[in-house]
Amino acid sequence: MLLFHAVRIMPRPSFLARPIGRQTIASVLPGVLLAVAGAATAADSNVAARAERILATTPLIDAHNDLPWELRNRTKGALASIDLRSETTKLPVPEGGAPLMTDIPRLRAGHVGGQFWSVWVPTELKGNDAVQATLEQIDLVKRMVAMYPADLQMAYTAADVRRIHRSGKIASLIGVEGGHQVNNSLATLRMFYDLGARYMTLTHTRNTDWVDSATDTPAHHGLTPFGAEIVREMNRLGMLVDLSHVSPAAMKAVLAVTEAPVIFSHSSARAINSHPRNVPDDVLRLVANNGGVVMVNFYPAYISEAANQWEADYAAEHTRYNSPPYAGLYIGQPEKAKAALEAWEKAHPKPIVTLAEVADHIEHIRKVAGIDHVGIGSDFDGIPAGPQGLEAVDRYPALLEEMMRRGWPDADVAKLAGLNILRVMEQAQQVAARLQATRPPSEALLQAEPQP
- Give the Cα-Cα-Cα angle 7, 10, 12 (nearest 5 degrees): 105
Q: Give the predicted TM-score (pTM) of the model.
A: 0.89
Hey, is 381 helix, strand or coil? coil
Short-list 32, 43, 41, 45, CA closest to 3: 32
What's the rounded Cα separation, in Å, for the pair 143 and 150?
14
Contact 158/429 with Cβ under 8 angstroms? yes
Cα distances (Å, whole numbers) of residue 347 to 138, 309, 340, 354: 44, 15, 11, 21
Element at 232 (helix H, strand E): helix 225-237
The residues facing 220 across adjacent strands are none
What's residue 21's pLDDT? Answer: 47
pLDDT of residue 282: 98
Measured at the alpha carbon of residue 192, what is the angle toward residues 237 and 287, in degrees to the nearest 5?
50
Helix (H, G, I), strand (E, B) or coil at 190: helix
CB 36 within 8 A of CB 66: no
Query: Is 421 within 8 Å of 103 (Cβ atoms)?
Result: no
- Residue 224 near residue 256, CB atoms below 8 Å: no
Handedness of CA 398, 399, 400, 402 (dihedral sign): positive
Please tell me the distance from the alpha carbon of residue 403 to that of residue 156, in angstroms, as a whole number. Answer: 29
Residue among 239, 216, 217 at smallest CA distance from 123: 216
CA distances from 125 to 101, 132, 206, 374 (A): 26, 10, 12, 32
The model's pLDDT over 21-53, given as tens digits with 9 standing for 90+, comes to: 444 444 545 554 454 445 556 667 799 999 999
- Nearest 5°: the CA angle 210, 212, 215 is 150
Kindly provide the b/e burial profile for residues 240-267, where b requires at least 16 CB atoms within 10 angstroms of the residue's own CB: bbbbbbbbbbbbbbbbebbebbbbbbbb
Neighbours of 347 (CB within 10 A): 7
- d(CA 88, CA 82) in angstroms, rounded, equals 8
The pLDDT of residue 68 is 98
Cis before residue 325, ω within 30 degrees of 0?
yes
Active site residues per annotation: 64, 66, 177, 204, 245, 266, 379
Residue 44: predicted pLDDT = 74
CB-based contact 287:279 (threshold 8 Å): yes
Number of H helices, E strands in the chain: 17, 9
What is the pLDDT, as a whole number, of residue 297? 98
Amino acid found at 122: P
List, in order of start, the domains of the chain with CATH numbers.
Answer: 58-304+358-436 (3.20.20.140), 310-352 (no CATH)
Rounded distance, CA 200 to CA 419, Å? 20
DSSP per position, 235-253: HHHTPEEE-TTB-HHHHHH
Confidence (pLDDT) at 322: 82
Peptide bond into 324 cis (omega under 30): no
Closest CA relative to residue 134, chosen from 84, 73, 91, 177: 177
What pLDDT was estimated at residue 381?
A: 98
Contact residues for 75 (Cβ-Cβ < 8 A; gap 6+): 81, 82
Name, in order, each residue with C-beta under 8 angstroms of 149's C-beta and a sequence gap of 6 or more: none
Q: According to the model, what pLDDT value does residue 43 have?
A: 65
Task: Say which DSSP state 85 is in.
Answer: T
Look at residue 449 in the predicted model and tell me its pLDDT: 54
Sign of CA dihedral 362, 364, 367, 369: negative
Nearest residue to 240 via CA among 225, 260, 224, 257:
260
Q: What is the pLDDT of residue 31?
A: 57
Q: What is the pLDDT of residue 12?
A: 33
Span 57-95, pLDDT tens digits: 999 999 999 999 999 999 999 999 999 999 998 899 988
pLDDT tens series, the chain, 452 aa: 433 233 223 333 333 333 444 444 445 455 544 544 455 566 677 999 999 999 999 999 999 999 999 999 999 999 999 999 999 988 999 888 899 999 999 999 999 999 999 999 999 999 999 999 999 999 999 999 999 999 999 999 999 999 999 999 999 999 999 999 999 999 999 999 999 999 999 999 999 999 999 999 999 999 999 999 999 999 999 999 999 999 999 999 999 999 999 999 999 999 999 999 999 999 999 999 999 999 999 999 999 999 999 999 999 999 998 877 777 899 888 899 999 999 999 999 999 999 999 999 999 999 999 999 999 999 999 999 999 999 999 999 999 999 999 999 999 999 999 999 999 999 999 999 999 999 999 999 998 654 44
Q: Are 353 and 384 in contact (CB under 8 A)?
A: no
The rounded distance, in Å, linking the Cα atoms of 268 and 150 is 34
